[in-house]
Amino acid sequence: ATRPGRTPREVATHCPYCALQCGMILREETDGVTVLPRQFPTNRGGLCQKGWTSAELLDHPERLTTPLLRDPSTGELRPASWDAALDRIVTGLHDVQQRHGRDAVAVFGGGGLTNEKAYALGRFARVALRTRHIDYNGRFCMSSAAAAGMRAFGVDRGLPFPLSDLGRADTLLLVGANPAETMPPLMRWLTEQRERGGRLIVIDPRVTATARQADLHLQALPGTDLAVANALLHIALTEGYVDADYIATRTAGFTAVRRTVASWWPARAEALSGVPVADLEETARALATAQRAIILTARGAEQHAKGVDTVSGFVNLALALGLPGRPGSGYGCLTGQGNGQGGREHGQKADQLPGYRKIDDLEARAHVARVWGVPADELPGPGVPAYQLLDSLGTDQGPRALLVFGSNPVVSAPRAGRIESRLRDLDLLVVVDFLLSETAALADVVLPTAQWAEEDGTMTNLEGRVLRRRALRQPPPGVRTDLTILADLSTRLELRGGGSADPHTVFEELRRASAGGLADYAGISWDRIDAADGVFWPCPADDGPDSPRLFTDRFATPDGLARFHPVEHRPAAEEVCPEYPLHFTTGRVLAQYQSGTQTRRVAALRRAAPDAFVELHPDLAERLGVTDGEPVRVVSRRGEFQAPARLSPAIRSDTVFAPFHWGGQARANSVTNDAVDPVSGMPEFKICAVRVEKP
């Protein structure tokens, strides 16, 4: 076993990809970098194939090692010096802000950036550029669960308990989550749970790899999870399962919820969702009679125009059963991106300042402004959520210049064809990445940045556990870190507030900025993380405890009580019709990650999942006259994409599925709906109306 910390040519660190942040050892060998799993509480020595192959990109031939500038005469990207690239950016930013005002420049971040980078990016936007326009791709990930958690519990931490609780739950309900493909090492906890006699219940429109392992699978029509949640609470009420004492002493607002769910008798939910009444009853009873029960949601439930309300439906159920705060029980969200949790705490979100503070809160502004050394009234106000920002680019109302860090919206945004054309309309597009993503390919300037094994920093995983990412080696010649790029830009722009290029210095400032906030890191030092291999926030004092488990005595609301929210089912923003008669939904596959920029370039992953596909039920394929492997075109009101048909009885015959990891002709997000949740700004990725035809 290797202890955490650095030994020569070997470091204990974490996987660069998802929010499980599996522990791994990176070892520099004569012929490259080797990945070895290590014992860490989330993965317990396991890695998925993405983690095993993650070092391949460090020396990848397609790696960017020099800035690229678009040649105005040929329209092509050409290698350039750092001086030339930074000069082009500085001139462009000055020009745009002089002609159109400060808000004409926008910054777009990512949920994979370290805490230090997320923090520095927010500071750079608000203090150096003084624009209100900053948001990030996490808005497309877990923003609905974050908003629902915030309004129910007063704080949003993906899992308010350690992941190990999953192994102790007698009943575990997963809603729109497929960890067998997205976070395989997490399945060890689920195996342990079932070996102890626990029950696993999955709600998903597909018979996913996770659903196949479930004791009970509720194959609900996409967009009907909220009706299912209300029906489950209706059953719990009717059968006398709700925890009256818990509701009376630890919550507020139940009466309105009781009235709302009164009309959600199980047969009504069955008619809407297709889930049999008997299965709804079995689920409600399994949750209510368990000693320990956990409800987890993920993107399947959350990526809807009613995503916040859908999550609230399951939070209501959890509260009514008295689960949150009880050891081995509760509600949680399986955050997706590597730093999906930390990425939303430190100020790269349009409405937030570091410490998970609200940007329109005067006290919060004063505190952060003091740390930043600027007058509070000079800090810009809230910006707009990611899709609204991207959709305004290049228009009369929107920013004319955009800096993108760690994101690929050309593939990952809904209605992606429209966003692509917005990006093309910009006066200046700058992309900071280590590979030429589809978004970078449109840029005026591309800056090559360091990879995860080439810089120090911290990440916060899905449990709210702050971890150390450790550098194995220096970035290759010609490559700079994101923090260096921000510092260099600030210097050249002759703007204050550029901050340090040193991640430890940035983290120390982050600690001060977060002090007293919801996500309080004041007592978390790198040394403390090293000693314990992770520290849970909130952790306000150097010598005080951290917080692996929240809500045991009180919630983070002013009166300590959790809040119920009455929520009603409503139809999807776009319903099927004769012209577009099928439901369309998206998701991930085991061997690919997010927009695929990285994983599509890893040989073993490409072999495992080389191409996009369109999953069709055999009955539907027969009706369409389509055979397995035959190319099909999926068409919605917003666009179309093409990929081979994959026939599978795992999907409902009224629903079509495609993974979203590919761009170009196979870009699933060409058809997805850009309707957004009114509270979170989450787009409706998970349901729209399409037709399928032969090309």
Q: Measured in Å, how far apart are the chain's first and last C-alpha atoms? A: 55
State the minimum distance, in angstroms, from the CB of residue 48 to ligand SF4.
Answer: 3
Residue 25 is a binding residue for ligand SF4 (CB under 6 A): no
Task: Indicate the burial class of 298 (C-beta count within 10 angstroms; 0-12, 13-18, 19 or more).
Answer: buried
Give the nearer residue to ligand SF4 in terms of CB position, either 18 or 445: 18
Residue 178 is a binding residue for ligand SF4 (CB under 6 A): no
Integer Cα distance of 622 and 643 in angstroms? 17
Give the nearer residue to ligand SF4 in terms of CB position, either 21 or 407: 21
State the minimum distance, in angstroms, from the CB of residue 393 to ligand SF4.
Answer: 31
- CA 477, 479, 483, 484 dihedral sign is positive
Torsional class of 356: left (φ above 0), alpha (ψ -120 to 50), beta (otherwise): left
CA dist 90 → 72, 93, 492, 603 (Å): 17, 5, 7, 38
State the minimum distance, in angstroms, from the CB of residue 43 to ligand SF4.
Answer: 6
Q: Which residues contact 548 (CB under 8 A, 6 or more apart)?
A: 161, 162, 463, 465, 536
Residue 534 is a binding residue for ligand SF4 (CB under 6 A): no
Q: In what order do the strands lie in the sheet with 457-460?
A: 457-460, 465-469, 535-536
Q: How far is CA 307 from the centre of its chain?
A: 14
Residue 166 is a binding residue for ligand SF4 (CB under 6 A): no
Give the nearer residue to ligand SF4 in terms of CB position, either 149 or 338: 338
Give the nearer residue to ligand SF4 in terms of CB position, either 48 or 275: 48
Residue 185 is a binding residue for ligand SF4 (CB under 6 A): yes
Of positions 11, 33, 47, 369, contacts ligand SF4 by CB under 6 A: 47
Give the nearer residue to ligand SF4 in terms of CB position, either 188 or 285: 188
Integer Cα distance of 512 and 14 in angstroms? 25
Stretch that binds ligand SF4, among 106-114, 179-187, 528-536, 684-692 (CB under 6 A): 179-187
Which residue minimizes CB distance to ligand SF4?
Answer: 51
CB 486 within 8 A of CB 506: no
Give the nearer residue to ligand SF4 in terms of CB position, either 336 or 497: 336
DSSP 102: G
Of positions 13, 43, 348, 680, contacts ligand SF4 by CB under 6 A: 43
Residue 21 is a binding residue for ligand SF4 (CB under 6 A): yes
SS (H, E, C) 551-590: CCCCCCCCCCCEECCCCCCCCCCCCCCCCCCEEEEEECCC
Counting residues that bind ligand SF4 (by CB under 6 A) gives 14
State the angle between helix axes of 503-514 and 115-123 in degrees (0 to 180), rounded to the nearest 10: 70
Integer Cα distance of 335 and 183 in angstroms? 10
Residue 15 is a binding residue for ligand SF4 (CB under 6 A): yes
| Longest CA–CA separation in the chain, Å | 74
Residue 48 is a binding residue for ligand SF4 (CB under 6 A): yes
Residue 642 is a binding residue for ligand SF4 (CB under 6 A): no
State the minimum distance, in angstroms, from the CB of residue 42 to ligand SF4.
Answer: 8
Q: Which residues contact 455 (CB under 8 A, 6 or more apart)?
A: 114, 469, 471, 475, 481, 483, 503
Residue 23 is a binding residue for ligand SF4 (CB under 6 A): no
Stretch that binds ligand SF4, among 46-54, 298-306, 442-450, 632-640 (CB under 6 A): 46-54
Write out the H or E segment, with its range, that includes residue 251: strand 251-252
Residue 293 is a binding residue for ligand SF4 (CB under 6 A): no
State the minimum distance, in angstroms, from the CB of residue 469 to ligand SF4.
Answer: 12
Residue 605 is a binding residue for ligand SF4 (CB under 6 A): no
Give the nearer residue to ligand SF4 in terms of CB position, either 46 or 324: 46
Residue 453 is a binding residue for ligand SF4 (CB under 6 A): no
Residue numbers at the binding site for ligand SF4 (CB under 6 A) = 15, 17-18, 20-22, 43, 47-48, 50-51, 183-185
